[in-house]
Structure 1
Amino acid sequence: MGRKVPTGQASIEVPGLGQVQGRLYSNDVRQYYGIPYGRLSKRWTRASMVTSWDGGFHNGTKPGNLTFPIRKHYPSPPEYEDGNDMLVPVPETDQFKGNWLASDTDCLRLNITQPPPPPSGRSTEGGPYPVLVYLHGGGFVVGGPHLPIFDGAHFVSRSVSQGNPIVFVAIGYRIGLGGFLASKEIQDDLARDGFSGAGNFGLTDQQLGLAWVQKYISAFNGDESRITLCGESAGGFSVAHQMNALEPPKFIDRAIFMSGTNNIMASWPVERWQFYYDELLRYVGIDPNSPDTLAQLREVPEPVLTAATFPIYHNDFPLYSACQDELFPMRVADTDLATSLPDWLEAVMVGATHDEGSLWRSVLRNFSGDNEILERFKSHMDSTQAHLILAKYLPGVDVDRATLLKGLEEMARDAFFSMPNYMLSRGRSRPLGKDVYVYHTDQVSTLDNPVKGLAYHAIDLYYIFLNGLDTMSEGQARLAFKMADDFIHFTNAIEPYPSFSQEKKCMVYGPEDKWEVKTEEADDAERGYTRMAEIIDGGLYERFWNAMDDIVADRYRVDLVLERRED
């Protein structure tokens, strides 16, 4: 019941590109790794689509040794080790082990998992199938489709066995400084090359990857008219950005937001990004007053740039973000965008985990008391408003450490996850009349690591993609198959459970390996809908969001650095 292991090789002809070789499984499911979709001429520029393969061939199997580096991803900071993430603790199978070489200029690649092709000579049977395109999370700092949690073999195999086949695509894009650094210098350089914007290279990579999928997915028996875009965490944030971009991918007909919408992270103006650009220059020894800083940065070795990811952020838990420019104009805590989505989307699924706020536990535990929190809140609202909000999460005064941490984590969960989902589900269902499906993951981890006992951020990935079955009990496995089936049904335009739009009900996965559809009234005590509604309807959400962003992102640290520079 565990991970799928390839039993042979497969190949397919892609018109205009050539032949791609991949892996074959015993059930005739096929996988093709590291397919290049974009090319880069230099750092910090827009990519161009790959429309030809060298020699008309791409080897999409696991290479035998490092002399054949065909599957590359964007490098992670030295503080993070790929394949050793407690949030997605999936062991590597042979085809996902090693040889995923890091490159900041040759990383625009995607993996495709394909159901069995139609029988020879019977092309009218077996497809084309709907496509699920996945954008990984990781705070725009780490992650990529090379990680074993995103192995689509079991997920697609499940879709086939249940009679609802899908094609699964996982797109890699530039992250970290290579993917999101922005500045006036970069903006001017892009303009000289005929491009718009000031950064957001990871987001435009995603757009290019989606365009590549629309153009070529039919060769993999995928239906280019039935594409669902799904993302988790920063990937969900990416889906929101793509839906609200200047040039959105209108060929997407469905969207899934997993633990992330437009309000999970700030979108910074170019002036804020300029601070980090100048910090990077200082870190690598370049004078910010030099006339050719960008040219000098392009000569800095990749490991040196990647090592700067954490130090220049001035935060114990860096999360990079998009730049507010003409291509991606979303603002911080934008309640208008949180309550509406494009009318060309047929349906939306949105969900979060119960203990999302534990993501910032290492930062939140630094606060010693509620008075410290109150003072931080009062820098974003008046005293009455601050007391009003804090009273909903921190009962009484001088609360103990455990109560303080619990309240802070609930505030972080609500500000960045629950409230945006709450607003989206209502805004989406009212003006457009399209279906929105809402889920909550309350299933807690039983793995022996620091997140044991929590329905932590990203635990749903462990279940939905079916790559944790080896460590699951029978009950946990049943829940995993249920969650996977719901995502597969949604991609196939089959109702996975009652829609919020029609019945004002939500799916709850867990705890204790169970699942149940609940009304908001029945689930209010657990979810805190009334508390969230009071903050939103009272016009306090944006202030609440800014206060919590200040707390979890240590925004004041940047202000202190700037003050010291001015002195």
Structure 2
Amino acid sequence: MTPEAQAVTLQHPAIGSIKGTQYSPRVEEYRGIKYATLTDRFARGQLVENYPSTLDATSHGPLPVANPQNCDLEQLLLQHPLPHPEYQFSDLECLTLNVAAPNASVRAQAGGGSGRPFPVLVYVHGGGFVTGSANWPQWELARLVELSVERGSPIVAVGINYRLGPFGFLTSAAMREAGYQPNNGLHDQKLGFRWVQRHIAGFGGDPGALTYFGCSIGAASGFVHLQSEEPLFQRIAAWGGSGLMQPLPLGVAEVGYGMVVKALGLESLPPAEQVKELVRIPQADFEAKVRDVHAPYMAWVDGDIVRTVPTYSGIADPAGLKKVFPGVQWCPTVWMGSCSMDGAIFLITALAGRTDDLPQALKRCISTTLSAHPDLIPQLVSLYGLDSANTADEKALAIANFSTDVGFAQAAKATAQGWQASTGTALLSHFTCPNPWDGGWKGHATHGLDAAFVLQNYNQVLPEGQRGCAERMGRDMVDFVGGKDRLPWVGAEGGREIVYHAGCEGKGDESRVVSSEEAAEMTARRRELEGIVRGRTEVLDRLMDALGMLLSGQ
């Protein structure tokens, strides 16, 4: 709690007295609330059943164990720093969440004095399952809640922390034999939503009006939960991630397990003893020794949390979509968003250490996966300039463009179209604001920048026009969470999509609603890609396979 922050106390009907802080005259924050307990670092979490008579929620809880520099590194990706404290980390006390809510006077005035509950946004951060936190300043939620109050449509917002890296996603046959299940990080997310369903009413929220808002892998995680029949939320806004994230088979996890065991010096031990040592090694030693080990920490197809591998072909019709995502029946409304340079994220993550010629590597991957369509290979090589890229910048742009189109933009469009065909309620947005700050991707709409805009945490350092765009995005998100019909739904008569845009030098928001046809004309490259594909979802699946091969170094 900062020295100027005023303390507030909430009387929660189930938890009891909760001490928080007053963010503004109309918004309160409750930070570091533990939603689940852990018996050890690889165990499944259990929802907290009892709280102390007075719960101190005035400061953030410890973060899940990860590289201590991760917050600064992510801000480098966004290309603008924000001040933050020194964070603490814990393998056992890390399952916490933060709540931003309208204060008592706003709650009392809701619904003409009836105290009607507010709709709820639950934010699940990105970071590739190895980094990220709801505690970081770029993902604070209070400003969006403040905007909602100003708009006269108050919402409650919750940010969930979940386990990352090995403690969240390491698995092996030996670990499962010892009783440790896969996908702990995804299970943590489920627990967070169950906590919200159980307790958010005490903060003024409506447990029957939950919106999942995810960025990047946080967005893709939402669709993992939609593989389940358990209703966790009623709407989903997925930006920079889609229903086509490619989970991996459990057999691949053995490779990562072996890498971690070797880094920790445990390879000579029997498997059962290895697992015991994995639990015992001090968390700081564990993290430091595996920090530079590029083991795959992914969603694993375990038949429980992750039941299948979604494909373009599999979600192309309503019957297929419902088979892959039975949650479409309890979450009928989806908002898919992408940035015009989402794919650059891979160049500074999965591909960062590569020294080979990446365009030529991608060409080989495409040639392998599209062997049944040899006529398409030269068209794609030409479209993305894989043979003509000579300079480092040209090569980076070729990879970023292909990754953006296949891994993000087309995936978002296909997911929206699938939902639209099944439920009639899908929104598609395109974020094209150039990054205004110095860095390698200045001038491009980089991955995650859309989420940073919508949460309002960079408004004080944005150019005037982009600040107006961010506020427009925030208002649209508030309306989406509130179930308002002001938003232009794709699939409505004529088809409508949103383009969020403001230049670095302009003084006004240039966002606009366009027809689906106009959206297709925005990028000649994507229009040409769709002309090559000609609606053949199996071709898109093979291109997704090629991207996966490139990222995994095959």
TM-score norm. by structure 2 comes to 0.88
Q: How far off its partner does 1:462 sit?
A: 2.2
Cα separation, partners in 2 of 1:533 and 1:27, compared to 1, 3 Å: farther
- Within the candidate set 468, 475, 478, 2:468 is matched to 478
Deviation at 1:450, TM superposition (A): 2.6
| Distance in structure 2 (CA, Å) of the matches to 1:353 and 1:121 | 39
Structure 1 residue 237: deviation in Å?
1.0
Contact 1:137/1:143 (8 A) holds in 2: yes
1:499 is paired with a residue of what secondary structure?
coil
Task: State the distance in 2 between where 1:36 and 1:114 align.
Answer: 17
Aligned pair in 2 of structure 1 residues 201, 367: CA closer, same or farther (>3 Å)? same
Of the three residues 506, 516, 519, the one matched with 2:515 is: 519
Q: Does 2:72 match 1:60?
A: no
Cross-structure match for 1:497 = 487
Q: Is the 8 A contact 1:49 1:208 kept in 2?
A: yes
Residue from 12, 15, 18 that aligns with 1:14: 12
Matched, 1:114 2:95: no
Q: CA distance change for structure 1 residues 202 and 370 in 2, over 3 Å: closer, same or farther?
A: closer
More moved, 416-425 vs 71-80: 71-80
Question: How many pairs does the alignment contain?
Answer: 527
Q: CA offsets per residue over residues 134-158 of structure 1, 9 Å max, x none?
A: 1000000001111001211211010
Are the aligned partners of 2:434 and 2:443 in contact in 1 as well (CA < 8 Å)? yes
1:323 aligns with 2:300: yes
Structure 1 unaligned runs (5+)? 63-69, 192-197, 557-567
Aligned to 2:122, what secondary structure does the other structure show? Answer: strand
User: What letter is aligned with 1:35?
Assistant: I
Any residues of structure 2 matched to 1:398-409 within 5 Å, and which? 398-401=388-391, 402-409=393-400
Q: CA deviation at 1:511?
A: 4.1
**Do the aligned residues in 2 keep the contact of 1:46 with 1:201 (CA within 8 Å)?**
yes
Q: Does 1:350 align with 2:339?
A: no
Q: Contact 1:117/1:126 (CA < 8 Å) preserved in 2?
A: no
1:489-514 Cα offsets, whole Å, 9 max, x none, are 00000134310021422100114241
Structure 2: gaps spanning 5 or more residues: 504-508
Give the secondary structure class of the aligned counterpart of 2:377: helix
What amino acid maps onto 1:323 in structure 2? W
* Residues 284, 225 of structure 1: alpha-carbon distance in 2 compared, 3 angstrom cutoff: same
The aligned residue for residue 170 of structure 2 is: 181
CA 1:496–1:150: 2 relative to 1, 3 Å: farther
Residue in 2 aligned with 1:541?
540
Aligned match of 1:172 in 158, 161, 166? 161
Does 1:243 pair with 2:223? no
Pairing 1:36-435 to 2, within 5 Å after superposition: 36-53=34-51, 55-62=52-59, 71-77=61-67, 80-82=70-72, 85-88=75-78, 92=82, 97-98=85-86, 100-118=87-105, 124-190=113-179, 198-245=181-228, 247-248=229-230, 250-264=231-245, 266-287=246-267, 290=270, 291-313=272-294, 320-327=297-304, 328-331=306-309, 333=311, 335-337=313-315, 340=321, 341=325, 342-362=328-348, 363=351, 366-368=355-357, 370-382=359-371, 384=374, 387-388=377-378, 390-391=380-381, 393-395=383-385, 397-401=387-391, 402-433=393-424, 435=425
Distance 1:326 1:188 in 2: 16
Partner of 1:450: 440
The one-letter amino acid of 1:420's match is A
Q: Answer yes or no: is the 8 Å Cα contact 2:194–2:232 preserved in 1.
A: no
Change (3 A) 1:471 1:92: closer
Paired letter, 1:71 = G
Match of 1:462 in 2: 452
Distance in 2 between residues matched to 1:169 and 1:536, nearest whole Å: 42
CA RMSD, Structure 1 to Structure 2 (Å)? 2.6
Deviations 1:87-119 (A, max 9, x none): 3466556xx523x31112110000000012247
SS across alignment from 1:359: helix
CA distance in 2: counterparts of 1:406 and 1:121, whole angstroms: 53
Counterpart Cα distance in 2 of 1:430 and 1:269 = 30
Given that 1:83 and 1:91 are in contact with CA atoms closer than 8 Å, whether structure 2 keeps it comes out as: no
1:451 CA displacement:
2.6
* Cα drift, residue 334 of structure 1: 5.6
CA contact (8 A) 1:118 1:125 kept: no
- SS of the residue corresponding to residue 374 of structure 2 reads helix
Tell me if structure 2 keeps the 8 A contact 1:114–1:221. Answer: yes
C-alpha separation in 2, matches of 1:237 and 1:296: 32
2:249–2:300 contact (8 Å) kept in structure 1: yes
For residues 185-223 of structure 1, the C-alpha deviation after alignment (integer angstroms, 9 at most, x for no partner) is: 2222237xxxxxx41000100111100000000000000
Helix, strand or coil at the partner of 1:495: coil
- Distance (Å, rounded) in 2 between the aligned partners of 1:120 and 1:17: 18
Structure 1 letter corresponding to 2:54: F
> Structure 1: which amino acid aligns with 2:333?
A
Change (3 A) 1:389 1:106: farther
2:551 aligned counterpart, secondary structure: helix
Alignment check: 8 A CA contact 1:356 1:413 kept: yes
CA distance in 2, matches of 1:25, 1:6: 10
SS in 2 for 1:146: coil
Partner of residue 552, structure 2: 553
Shift, 1:311, TM fit: 3.3
Could you list the per-position Cα deviations for residues 173-195 of structure 1 after superposition, in whole angstroms to 9, with x for gaps in the alignment? Answer: 0011100111112222237xxxx
Offset of residue 329 of structure 1 = 1.2
Task: Give the 3 Å change call, closer, same or farther, for CA 405–298 of structure 1 in structure 2.
Answer: same
Q: What's 2:506 paired with?
A: none
Q: Using the TM superposition, name which of 270-279 and 393-402 deviates more.
A: 393-402
C-alpha spacing 1:38/1:121, structure 2 compared with 1 (3 Å): closer
Pick closer, same or farther for the CA change 1:326–1:370 going to 2, 3 Å: closer
Contact 1:349 1:438 in 2 (8 A): yes
Amino acid at match of 2:214: G
Change (3 A) 1:51 1:14: farther
Q: For each residue in 1:264-302, what CA deviation from the matched residue of structure 2 results, as whole angstroms up to 9, or x when unmatched?
A: 4x3111110011112211110113650322111111121
Q: Is the 8 A contact 1:506 1:518 kept in 2?
A: yes
Q: Distance in 2 between matches of 1:378 and 1:514?
A: 40
CA drift at 1:425: 1.7
Deviations 1:452-509 (A, max 9, x none): 1110001112210111111122212111110000000000001343100214221001
Q: Do 1:438 and 1:507's aligned partners in 2 also have CA atoms closer than 8 Å?
A: yes
Stretch moving more, 109-118 or 388-397 = 388-397
The whole-number CA distance in structure 2 between the counterparts of 1:533 and 1:56 is 64
* Higher deviation after alignment, 176-185 or 212-221: 176-185
Task: Name the amino acid aligned to 1:270.
Answer: L
Give the superposition deviation at 1:369. 7.0
Q: Percent identity?
A: 23
